[in-house]
């Protein structure tokens, strides 16, 4: 199944209650994982990458929901989950329509899952990287949902500044929400710290030569890490803690030092007694997400009101 077929199922309300999402576009995998897991009063259990545990996953789908609604299991991993385990989890969904299982696979072995579940009702969806037109349409939809006035030419310019990274372009749309006027190419050039001037070949060469990026490329690795950290902060504020956690992890993997300075988390998130860095905030979110929903403490209104947005490159 491809993205268009999945969209038709979503429009008709004919989606299966289990799905395997994979392919070249991590952005679309994330987007549809969130979309397919949106259910009211659901008991959600999420596993990230190496934290997957089959026994716990099976137990979650085998029990009655604590909230009287659906049980939702989300597994996000770059490693393949054994086929036998996936079959068992999918069978639990086929036996109980109150269960939902979403397996988001970020690895490169796309052939394995293309026809692996043809005998089951599960949706096996492969996502390809969107072309420019598709990318513009996606960002346009995000802008419309956020009530941001921006035309397609300006969106194309924004995508070009970010090397056609849809996730970063959508992150900018979040920032544009504070403006009452139309966002044009001029505003984008004044407001956006683009990444298009970063040469991928240069970055790879420096990695092989073990060169330091900080002195000769101040808008390179550190800025990319900060961009992901910023997007994580936005998701954190919107209470999309799973999305925030993933972006924090990306920022840490890119440049832990750049996003781990003293007081970073305190200044940005104002969780003064919980976090002093993106890494610590990520660990805290992960630990809280493992708890029952009614026991989690992820947001404190009085502290949130003083949040200050982070400026890339000024860590």
pLDDT at 261: 47
Q: What is the pLDDT of residues 252-269, one digit of tens each?
A: 766 666 555 433 333 334
Q: Average pLDDT in the 101-119 region?
A: 81
Integer Cα distance of 129 and 28 in angstroms: 8
Instruction: Identify the top-confidence range among 20-29, 110-119, 162-171.
Output: 20-29
Sheet containing 123-127: order of strands: 43-48, 71-77, 99-105, 18-23, 123-127
Integer Cα distance of 22 and 278 in angstroms: 28
Q: What is the pLDDT of residues 164-198, one digit of tens each?
A: 888 888 888 888 887 778 999 988 887 776 545 44
Phi-psi region of 15 (alpha: psi -120 to 50; beta: other; left: phi over 0): beta
- Asked if the model's pLDDT at residue 216 lies above 50, the reply is no
3-state DSSP assignment of residue 47:
strand
Cβ pair 116, 83 in contact under 8 A:
yes
**Cα 183 to chain center, whole Å?**
25
Weakest-pLDDT range from 37-46, 50-59, 146-155, 268-277: 268-277
pLDDT at 223: 65
Map tokens 């979309």 to a residue. 35
3-state DSSP assignment of residue 48:
strand
- Asked if the model's pLDDT at residue 25 lies above 80, the reply is yes
pLDDT at 106: 87
pLDDT at 301: 54
Q: Which residue has the higher pLDDT, 124 or 200?
A: 124
Kindly state the tokens that stand for 31. Answer: 């987007």
Q: Average pLDDT in the 2-14 region?
A: 90
The rounded mean pLDDT for the chain is 77
Map tokens 């404190």 to a residue. 300
DSSP state letters, 103-129: EEE-SS--STTTSTTTTSS-EEEEEPP
Integer Cα distance of 311 and 294 in angstroms: 34
Report the percent of the chain where pLDDT is more than 70: 75
Map tokens 């393949």 to a residue. 80
């Amino acid at each position: 199944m491809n993205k268009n077929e999945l969209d038709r199922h979503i429009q008709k309300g004919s989606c299966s209650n289990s799905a395997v999402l994979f392919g070249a576009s991590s952005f679309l995998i994330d987007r549809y994982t969130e979309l397919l897991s949106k259910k009211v009063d659901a008991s959600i259990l999420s596993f990230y990458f190496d934290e997957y545990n089959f026994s716990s996953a099976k137990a979650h789908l085998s029990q009655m929901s604590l909230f009287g609604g659906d049980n939702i299991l989300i597994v996000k991993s770059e490693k393949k989950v054994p086929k036998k385990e996936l079959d068992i989890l999918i069978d639990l969904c086929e036996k109980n329509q109150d269960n939902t299982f979403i397996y988001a696979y970020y690895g490169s072995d796309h052939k394995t899952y293309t026809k692996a579940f043809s005998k089951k009702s599960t949706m096996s969806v492969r996502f390809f990287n969107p072309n420019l037109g598709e990318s513009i349409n996606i960002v346009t939809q995000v802008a419309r949902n956020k009530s941001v006035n921006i035309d397609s030419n300006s969106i194309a310019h924004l995508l070009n500044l970010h090397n056609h990274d849809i996730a970063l372009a959508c992150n900018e749309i979040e920032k544009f929400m504070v403006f009452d006027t139309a966002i044009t190419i001029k505003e984008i050039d004044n407001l956006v710290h683009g990444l298009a001037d970063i040469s991928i070949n240069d970055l790879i060469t420096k990695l092989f030569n073990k060169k330091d990026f900080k002195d000769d490329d101040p808008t390179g690795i550190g800025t990319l890490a900060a961009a992901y950290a910023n997007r994580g902060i936005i998701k954190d504020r919107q209470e999309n803690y799973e999305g925030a956690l993933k972006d924090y992890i990306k920022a840490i993997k890119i440049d832990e030092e750049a996003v781990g300075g003293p007081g970073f988390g305190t200044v940005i998130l104002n969780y003064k007694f919980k976090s002093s860095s993106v890494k610590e905030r990520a660990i805290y979110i992960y630990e809280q997400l493992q708890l029952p929903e009614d026991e989690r403490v992820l947001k404190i209104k009085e502290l949130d009101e003083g949040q200050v947005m982070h400026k890339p490159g000024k860590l």
